[in-house]
Amino acid sequence: MDRDILIVPDIHGRDFWLPALDYKGEIIFLGDYTDPYPAEGFTDEDSYQILLKVIKFKQENPDRVTLLIGNHEMHYYNKYMAAGRFSYDYYDKFNELLTNEATKDLFQVCKKVDKYLFIHAGIIKKWYDLHYNDFKDCGSNLEEQLNNAFFSKMHIFYEASRYRYGIDDAGSPLWADGRELYDEKEKGEHFDPEIIQIVGHTPVLKPDPLIEKNFWLVDNKKLYLLHNNALEKYIR
């Protein structure tokens, strides 16, 4: 790949991502701007102000900033999908940012660049095959299909497996757990096996990302630069 991409994993109201504001190249946010962890000392108001700042950054740089949707945004599209750390007090504020005419088109489920697929939690091939008929007519390629299907068939993106206390056979691209990616043995009928998924969602409790052949887990509160087909820690 002949271009560098700065990757911002799950924010959850934190401030580690702020150096990205000074980066002049392409940036992809992996979602989960909202719902802080109480023990970390950040508040719902912090996450609301950060989402405002992220949106403004996207509006000022529409061609080089991509904002992905995480599971912690999905339940602010629809409160009946409420999950962990959902804020009833801030539902209306977050819902307005995600759905009003001025900002609703700023968000998407995934972004594909060459062989890399940037997506919040990762695609489980079983999930993709189960729902292939739900989104195969939503676009001419994987990126279009998933991005369009989210807004027309949001319920299938709410599916979660036992790894995330759900009852479904496989987690959706917003709810899949990293352990599902590790455990998956099937190649899948429809999913391109050459794709490398770059995902957040599953916290990495180590100083470095977890790199596997077809997926990279990067949710460890650090910024990463995809450069020359490898990840580098981004230091301003």
- Span 16-45, mean pLDDT? 97
Residue type for 198, please?
Answer: I
Judged against a pLDDT cut of 80, whether residue 186 lies above it is answered with no
Beta bridge partners of 233: 224
What's the rounded mean pLDDT across residues 136-163? 95
d(CA 62, CA 222): 23
Residue 40 is encoded by which pair of tokens?
A: 């970390």
Strands 110-113 and 26-29: unpaired
Residue 199 has a pLDDT of 98
pLDDT tens for 39-73 read: 999 999 999 999 999 999 999 999 999 999 999 99
Average pLDDT over residues 150-161: 96
What's the CA angle centered on 22, arms 74 and 44, to 5 degrees? 35
CB 7 within 8 A of CB 198: yes
Which pLDDT value is given to residue 188?
81
Contact (CB, 8 A) for 23 and 192: no
- Beta-strand (E) ranges in the chain? 5-8, 26-29, 65-68, 107-108, 110-113, 116-119, 196-199, 210-211, 215-217, 224-227, 230-233
The three-state secondary structure class of 94 is helix
Domains for the chain: give ranges and CATH numbers.
5-233 (3.60.21.10)
Confidence band, pLDDT 50/70/90 cuts, at residue 1: confident
Identify the three-state secondary structure at position 41.
Answer: coil
